[in-house]
A and B are shown apart, each in its own frame.
Chain A
């Protein structure tokens, strides 16, 4: 099968967690994308400097993950 499979491609391995960009992109999606219950999703993310925020979260996050 030549299509990219979601599940087997990214197991929660240290390699995956260690990928900074992947973790930022995941956070961007989980926290700013997706269906919300009340109202439409109209977050104007184009105007927010998300990356800086994410990187701060990320630095702490990766440390924690590596510890545990």
Chain B
């Protein structure tokens, strides 16, 4: 048996909702919920780990978005599997505090990504040396810092939290303020995508 983990939610969110269809997974299989304490995990029994193809990525994203329409969830990383139900329940029990804290952090919020524009032709753009490569990394880091400042200026008071990655900034924004966040950051000419489920904010 392979169990594919989709998301973690408070047990009340995972309970079947009257009048709502049972949530379905990547291959339209029905999802089951594994409760443990105040939490529950959305999982499905699959033959194999899903292939990492664009079609599957998009299907996965849609599953997560449908789950989000039921309530606040912590999305799992694509392809996260367990061998037994026990493994998942044990994780929920052991990390209960961590997950409850994360759920409260992302409650009612969505994520936006703001990106430093990529080089014009990345396939032709290989660094000539290690030094050059390191210089570029430092440049990127500076650019991302600069980006963070711009976002602060554009979206003052609208971000709950931010996370930096190599060339982009993830912003956690309340759903109610999502439209305004988009409008303000786009008005500054920033490249913004989203709203996404809060993938970047599940860990502290």
Residues of B within 8 A of A56 (CB): 123
Could you tell me if A50 and B62 are in contact, using CB atoms closer than 8 angstroms? no
Q: Does B179 contact A (CB under 8 A)?
A: yes
B76 and A21: CB pair below 8 A?
Answer: no
> B residues within 8 A CB of A45?
165-166
B65 touches A65 (CB 8 A): no
Binds A, one of B16-24, B28-36, B149-157, B190-198: B190-198
Q: Mark B57-90, 1 if CB is under 8 A from A, else 0.
A: 1101110011011000011111011100001100
Give Cα distance in the complex from A32 to B166, angstroms: 12
Given contacts A6-B110, A35-B77, contact A28 B165 (CB under 8 A): yes
Q: For residue B183, give the distance in angstroms from its CB to the closest CB of chain A.
A: 10
Contact of B53 among A48, A50, A62, A64 (CB under 8 A): A64
A36 to B91, CA, bound (A): 10
Nearest A-chain residue to B125, judged by Cβ: A52
User: How many chain B residues touch the partner (CB < 8 A)?
Assistant: 61
Within 8 Å by CB of B54, from A4, A36, A52, A61, lies A61
For A45, give the chain B residue with the smallest CB separation: B165
If A6-B68, A25-B193, A40-B203 are given as contacts, then 19 extra A-B residue pairs at C-beta distance below 8 Å, sorted by A number, are: A3-B179, A6-B197, A7-B69, A12-B62, A19-B193, A21-B191, A25-B168, A28-B165, A29-B199, A34-B76, A34-B202, A35-B74, A36-B77, A37-B5, A37-B87, A45-B165, A50-B165, A51-B167, A59-B123
Give A residues with C-beta under 8 Å from B: 2-4, 6-7, 9, 12, 17, 19, 21-37, 40-42, 45-52, 55-56, 59, 61-62, 64-65, 68
